Amino acid sequence: MEIKILGTGCPKCKQLEQTVKEAVKASNMEINITKVEEIDKILNYGIMKTPGLVIDEKVVLSGRVPSINEVIEIIKKHI
């Protein structure tokens, strides 16, 4: 599984990155996490508000920072 965090480096984007890392650690799964900061690449995903969360190339969330538990649930749905 691959998770991408879409964001230019704003505080919410950094918060989402930390939340995702904590959720992945708590779920005890091997998941590759990458950060996409280039505007043109972010726009290719069709989101208008950052931060964005992409799992296996599918946008699953944008424009807000979810809780750790919500991220864990999102990950479980995409296993």
Q: Are 54 and 42 in contact (CB under 8 A)?
A: no
Q: For this structure, is 35 an active site residue? A: no
Rounded CA gap, 30 and 15, in Å? 21
Per annotation, catalytic residue among 5, 6, 13, 55: 13
Q: For this structure, is 72 an active site residue? A: no
- Would you tell me how many other CB atoms lie within 10 Å of the CB of residue 16? 25
Per annotation, catalytic residue among 1, 9, 10, 29: 10
Question: Which element (helix H / strand E) includes 56?
Answer: none
Active-site residues, by number, are 10, 13
